Every structure is written in C-alpha cells, then in structure tokens.
Amino acid sequence: MRQRHLQPELLDALTPDDPAALHNRRDLRLTNLIAGSHRWLRRALARHVKSGEPVLEVGAGTGELGLSLHRRGLAVDGLDLWPRPAGWPAERAWHVADLRTFDGYGNYPAICGNLIFHQFSEADLATLGSLLRRRARLIVACEPARRRTSQLLYCLFGPLLGANYVSLHDAHVSIAAGFRGNELPAALGLAAPVWDIRCDISVLGMYRMIATRRP
C-alpha cells in the first residue's frame, strides 16, 4: 500500500453507550495490550516529559491511557469529542472539542496520541500540526503502520479474539490510513532542523513517532 487511503470508521457513527461501541472498546483494549502501545507510550513519555510538565492526550477516548499515565505521576489532561470518563481525576482537565479547532494547545508543551492521527486527512494533519507547533516541544504518537500483512493478520485472528464487526471493519480501514517512514511528521510540518524526529515500526505493526523540538 503505497498511499494512505481514508474511509469512514463505523465507530464514528455510534454513541459512546452503543453495545457495539462498548464491544469495540473491549477489542481496542485487547489490541493495545497485545501490541504494547500503552507500554511504549508510557516509556517514551517517562523519558522525555520534564518534571511537572503538563501533557495533553489528544483523542483520549475512554481515558484509559491517560489514567495509566496519571498513576505514574504525569500531569495528563484529555481532549476528545466524547464526554469526560467516569473516574477521570478531578484535578485534571477534560476538554470536549474537535482536535482541529481546539484553542488550548498553547497550554501544553507535551502532546501524546494513540490511534488518532491516522483518522485525519493530509489537510487536517497540516492544520493540526500548525496548532501543535505553536507551543509543543514534544509530540509522541503510536499509530497503525500501513501494511497489508497487518490487515490480513487482524482479519484472521480478530474473530478468534472475539472482535466484533465494528472492530474488524475499523481495523482494516485504520491500517489502510496508517503511516510509513516519515509520513506523519511530514504531514504535521515537523521539519528539520527545528525538530528531531524518530520513527519506527514495531514487530507487531505499530508506527511510533517521537518528535522533540531542538533547543
């Protein structure tokens, strides 16, 4: 798959309390566990976030990653179109807003996202990048790597793991919209010599980016 291909995800048309959406969240938790996405993000942020520095998780969803980071001492706020999750720390903010029009990025020097950037077109990523670059000195992301092998593997093993029709569909289109090489930092406008960029693809097909602004 040479080019990214965006299609609507079924989850976007469901309410947070729809049974199919609830099942999909269960499937995503299992996917993140197997792929080690949250573990990698925790390690990356622990290495690069300064003491007391506020972190914004974009596309925070159900807040599970943010809660995990909070328990490890990071000051994490959430941003999503979904409502504030039950159990979200009272002392931490939860912003209900569109990532592309949120006006509070200036308060956050560190940004993280898990399985969110692939949902946006090149034009949207350019808009988002222009907002993030105003203040952020650190952007960490974990996304699907665009590999046909990953689509085939999820199609094969997803049903064995209990994945529902939403998860099977959305995994396929998410991988097709994923990234390779330096595509994500380029789309966000994170260019040298201003930014130090590190991108790799894990054995289990996760595209991982750490972008740090150079002094």
- Strand partners of residue 55: 76, 110
Residue spans per domain, the chain: 10-83+104-213
pLDDT at 1: 76
Q: Report the interhelical angle of 165-176 vs 148-157 (nearest 10°).
A: 170
Show the low-confidence residues of the chain (pLDDT under 70): none
> Could you tell me the two tokens for 172?
């396929």
Is the N-terminal amide bond of 193 cis, ω within 30° of 0? yes
pLDDT in tens, 78-92: 999 989 998 999 999
Q: How would you classify the pairing of strands 138-144 and 206-213?
A: antiparallel
pLDDT at 16: 84
CATH number of 10-83+104-213: 3.40.50.150
Would you say the C-alpha torsion 115, 118, 124, 129 has a positive or negative sign?
positive
pLDDT at 40: 97
pLDDT at 2: 83
Residues shown for the chain: 215
pLDDT at 150: 95
Closest Cα partner for 207 from 4, 47, 20, 37? 37
pLDDT in tens, 127-153: 999 999 989 999 999 999 999 999 999
pLDDT at 192: 86
